[in-house]
Amino acid sequence: MENQAVSHAAADIDKQVRGYMVVFGTLLALTVITVGVSYMHLPLHAAVGVALAIACFKASLVLLFFMHLISERQLIFVILAFTVGFFMVLMFLPILTNLDHIHI
């Protein structure tokens, strides 16, 4: 019974390792694409959009697979939800400086 559990765990790890290799290949390909797009010298807004979209996708792959968020417990997501909320405030606060219509 114990041997069966061990072999199941080993098979599970083997499956995860195959996933890591797919993620590795995808990350390499996306890096090449990001650099390739940058040589097209798109207008700034388009360039920012493309670069950040690819970076967010790459970061998601690392978080989900290498950092095991795909199979993580609920408490970690609660911690991350708070962090993402505060992080968004931090990112969008600077935009308010451009909405100063009364020019203080």
Partner 1 sequence: MEGLIPYITEAREDTGLTNGKIGIWLFLASEIMLFGAFFATYIVMRMGAEHWPHGWEDQNVPLGTLNTLVLITSSVTMVMAWASLERDDLKKFQMFGAATVALGFAFLGIKYIEYTSHFHEGMYPGTNNYLAVYFTMTGLHGLHVVCGMVVNGYLTATGKSYWDAGERQLLINRVENAGLFWHFVDIVWIFLFPVLYLL
Q: What's the angle, vertex CA 94, arms to CA 90 and CA 97, rounded to 5? A: 145
Q: Contacting partner 1 (CB under 8 A), which of 71, 98, 102, 103?
A: 98
Question: Considering the rule CB under 8 A, would residue 34 count as an interface residue with partner 1?
Answer: yes
Of 22, 33, 48, 70, the one binding partner 1 by CB under 8 A:
48
Backbone angles phi, psi at 67, to 5 degrees: -100, 5
How far apart CA 55 and CA 57 sit, in angstroms, is 5
Question: 44-61 and 2-38 helices cross at what angle (nearest 10)?
Answer: 170
Summarize as ranges the residues that interact with partner 1 (CB under 8 A). Answer: 9-10, 13, 16-17, 20-21, 24, 27-28, 31-32, 34-35, 38, 44, 47-48, 51-52, 54-55, 58-59, 62-63, 65-68, 73, 75-76, 79-80, 82-83, 86-87, 90-91, 93-95, 97-98
